[in-house]
């Protein structure tokens, strides 16, 4: 079980980052600039990036992992990111938790101190990033209700997200600075 972690961001894969950002603009959230990540093949916009955690809107712009994910599953939640102080130690602590190390992690651990966790049936990847320190700023993404089986609660507890993420049998929704946002409305 990861003991020292902090939620970093919630990433949502969308057809258009601009359309998703415009949906959020009337709520008064700070919408960041559009950024192109050529190596990832994405166009991205962070919402409230200076907070302890943020919302990341991602649009595939060329063939690659994100385009394949959009083609396979459609728009929606892509990953939950957490920051940790010691990547190898924290990943090792997850043995027998149910999480599986995604094969991409073999490259990303060495290259960017990032690992990816997956679990069949869980609706998102978990991105684990090593940081020198964990922030203490106010959370922007206060709560996330995931449409998944209640048994996923043990998986969330193992990575330290049980207080922010709850399982539900109904629609996935986000609470962003007190505002309830239905994921389906954001990705429409």
In this prediction, residue 56 carries a pLDDT of: 97
Query: Within 10 A of 112 (CB to CB), how many other CB atoms are there?
Result: 10
Is 178 part of any domain? Answer: no
Is 165 part of any domain? Answer: no
Strand partners, 111: none
Is 181 part of any domain? Answer: no
Is 185 part of any domain? Answer: no
Query: Within 10 A of 33 (CB to CB), how many other CB atoms are there?
Result: 8
Consecutive sets of 10 residues in the chain, 188 residues long: mean pLDDT of each?
89 97 96 95 94 93 95 95 95 94 95 95 94 88 88 90 86 93 94
Is 186 part of any domain? Answer: no
In this prediction, residue 124 carries a pLDDT of: 93
Is 34 part of any domain? Answer: yes
In this prediction, residue 159 carries a pLDDT of: 95
Q: How many domains does the chain have?
A: 1
Residue 77 belongs to domain with CATH number: 3.10.180.10
In this prediction, residue 151 carries a pLDDT of: 77
Dihedral angle over CA of 147, 118, 91, 163, nearest 10 = 0
Phi-psi region of 43 (alpha: psi -120 to 50; beta: other; left: phi over 0): beta
The pTM of this model reads: 0.93
Is 24 part of any domain? Answer: yes
Is 105 part of any domain? Answer: yes
Containing structural domain, residue 89: 5-138
> What is the Cα 82 distance to its own chain's centre?
8
């Amino acid at each position: 079980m990861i003991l020292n972690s902090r939620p970093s961001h919630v990433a949502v894969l969308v057809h258009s980052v601009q359309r998703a950002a415009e949906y959020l603009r009337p709520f008064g959230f700070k919408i960041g600039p559009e950024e192109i990540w050529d190596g990832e093949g994405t166009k991205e916009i962070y919402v409230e990036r200076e907070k302890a955690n943020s919302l990341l809107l991602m649009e595939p712009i060329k063939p690659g992992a994100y385009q394949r994910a959009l083609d396979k599953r459609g728009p929606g939640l892509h990953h939950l990111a957490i920051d940790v102080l010691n990547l190898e130690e924290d990943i090792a602590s997850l043995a027998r938790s149910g999480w599986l190390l995604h094969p991409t992690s073999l490259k990303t651990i060495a290259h960017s101190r990032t690992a990816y966790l997956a679990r069949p049936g869980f609706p998102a990847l978990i991105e684990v990033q090593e940081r020198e320190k964990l922030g203490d700023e106010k959370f922007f993404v206060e709560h996330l209700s995931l449409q998944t089986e209640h048994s996923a609660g043990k998986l969330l507890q193992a990575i330290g997200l049980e207080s922010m993420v709850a399982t539900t049998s109904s629609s996935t929704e986000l609470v962003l600075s007190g505002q309830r946002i239905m994921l389906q409305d954001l990705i429409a």
